[in-house]
Amino acid sequence: GQPLVFDMVYDKHMNRKEMENTVKQILETESWNHRSPDPFHIHFCSLQTEGPFHKELIKRYKEAWDKLLVTATEKAHVEMFPKDKLVYLTADSRNEMKAYEHDKIYIIGSIVDKCMQPGLSLANAKRLNLRTARLPLEKYLHWEIGNKNLTLDQMIRILLTLKNTGDWKAALEFVPKRKYGGFVNTQHHSRIKLELLGEKKV
Ligand code: SAM
């Protein structure tokens, strides 16, 4: 399957609660992936043996840890894969993701930060000179005020749907409804415009 990287370098940026939350989301992520007819080959990169992430993962998974269909490695993504194949996903990217690319290796930052550290994953990607991309949320959804950072389980459900259908609308159904005011409907827009033009004529 297509590799998907979880970048495990963020343990120092999280408190205990946030770390527990992240691992909980990773468990959900793995289970969504598992259930897919065409799953990703998940890689936990930069996972330090006996480090905080490793310990929490083992505590949660217990004996299931060794049976997981993931590759866990201390190596960084840039040591595992060619740089030109890697795309770091981050809400702070200037590049809007256009089409889903089956030959790219997407990287997700394994971080849940309640106290909001904007630009953390973007800074990491920039330091390593990696391509970045953000989901086209504003293009498809009427975005309200909420921040655009999605959780890890939402991210994998979106990516799995894109991978299997290429359908942005179906994929973005996994963005929590409270975050936006409906899908952008271009047909509807042009009809309103026509109606307005019609009214002017009268
Ligand atoms: N402050 C964190 C940061 O610096 O990215 C927010 C982390 S976010 C909760 C967890 C990860 O999900 C991000 O590192 C990114 O890989 C991915 N992600 C979340 N929302 C995204 C979006 N709108 N577009 C692209 N990737 C996103």
pLDDT tens profile 171-196: 999 999 888 888 997 555 545 555 55
For residue 12, the 8-state DSSP code is G
**How far is 150 from 20, CA to CA, in rounded Å?**
17
Q: Which tokens sit at 18?
A: 């946030």
Rounded to whole angstroms, how far apart are CA atoms 178 and 71? 34
Helix count and strand count (H, E) for the chain: 8, 8
Q: Which of 80-84, 116-120, 141-145, 186-190 has the lowest mean pLDDT?
A: 186-190
Q: How far apart are CA 77 and CA 124, in angstroms?
A: 12
Residue 140, helix vs strand vs coil: helix
pLDDT over 90 at 62, yes or no: no
Going from the Cα of 36 to the center of ligand 1, the distance in angstroms, rounded, reads: 22
**Residue 187 β-bridge partners:** none
Contacts of 143 (CB under 8 A, 6+ apart): 137, 179, 180, 181
- The arithmetic mean of pLDDT across residues 41-45, rounded, is 97
- Residue 35 CA to ligand 1 center (angstroms) comes to 23
Residue with CA closest to ligand 1 atom 23: 91
Q: Is 26 in the pocket of ligand 1 (CB under 6 A)?
A: no
pTM for the whole structure: 0.91
- Ligand 1 pocket check: which of 22, 110, 150, 179 to mutate, most ligand atoms within 8 Å of Cβ? 150
ipTM exceeds 0.95, yes or no: yes
Q: How much of the chain, in percent, has pLDDT values that exceed 70? A: 91
Cα-to-centroid distance, 121 and ligand 1 (Å): 7
Res 192: pLDDT: 52
Report which of 179, 191, 103 is spatially closest to residue 147, judged by C-alpha positions: 179
Please give the Cα distance from 30 to 156 (Å, whole number). Answer: 9
Taking alpha carbons only, the member of 47, 24, 172 closest to residue 112 is 24
Res 198 pLDDT > 60: no
